[in-house]
Amino acid sequence: MKLPRSFYEQTTIDVAKQLLGKYLVRRHPEGNVVGRVVETEAYIGPQDLACHASKGRTARTEVMFGPAGHAYVYFIYGFYNMLNLVTEVKGYPAAVLIRAAEPVDGIELMKTRRQNGALRNLASGPGKLCQAFAVDRSLNGADLRGNVLYLEDRGEPVPKFRATPRIGVDYAGKWKAKPYRFLVRDSEFVSKL
């Protein structure tokens, strides 16, 4: 069943943990694609220097300040999109970055969208995942209760996971060491160990 808005209104850490083992569904004219989430990161509030919203409320970060259960998609490095899910209460900027998923359905379609079609390389990283799932900024602000992009609970308990510091945020001072990255143990589909 589709995750309700109340799921995303929990604390960002809880959402990030509980997303592991949930299923990301992308409906698209080319075909539908489904992946099992195996890696997430939490970005929490205006004081978190790794969180874009620590720079203030701008056109780019506006979605993060909005209500939970919406997609925050941004473009970076001139090449890649990143998919986040807005969490917590309206007015408090926080989100969970989806970093990796295990391909489940629509694998052939994912391969056509990706350079390297090896199964383990289709969505093992936030940029790769957005390519495989055809996520771009047209989905920024999309409601996750809609039919284009959403998460599904298929009755699987949250798998065993571990926490590490987040990737690529060396500039974030004391926040760079916080264990806000969560990854499924024993999954070969994470971005890195």
Partner DNA sequence: CAAGAGATCATCT
Partner DNA sequence: GATGATCTCTTGA
Contact set with DNA (CB under 7 A): 41, 43, 50-52, 55-56, 58-61, 64, 72, 74-80, 82, 84, 95, 97, 114-116, 121, 125-129, 166-169, 171, 191
| Cα(173)–Cα(170) distance, integer angstroms | 7
For the bound state, the minimum distance from the C-beta of residue 35 to DNA, rounded and expressed in Å, comes to: 13
Which of 8/72 has CB closer to DNA?
72
Residue 147 CB, nearest approach to DNA (Å): 24
| Diameter over CA atoms, the chain | 44
Distance CA 58, CA 166 (A): 23
Cβ closest to DNA, residue 140 vs residue 157: 140
Q: State the minimum distance, in angstroms, from the CB of residue 133 to DNA.
A: 12
Helix (H) or strand (E) holding 5, with range, is helix 5-8
When the beta carbons of 75 and 92 are compared against DNA, the nearer one is 75
Task: Give SS3 for 29.
Answer: coil
Residue nearer to DNA on the CB measure, 76 or 158: 76
134 to 9, 80, 119, 129: CA distances (angstroms) = 26, 11, 17, 8
Q: Quote the tokens at residue 171.
A: 């500039």
CB 1, min distance to DNA, A: 26
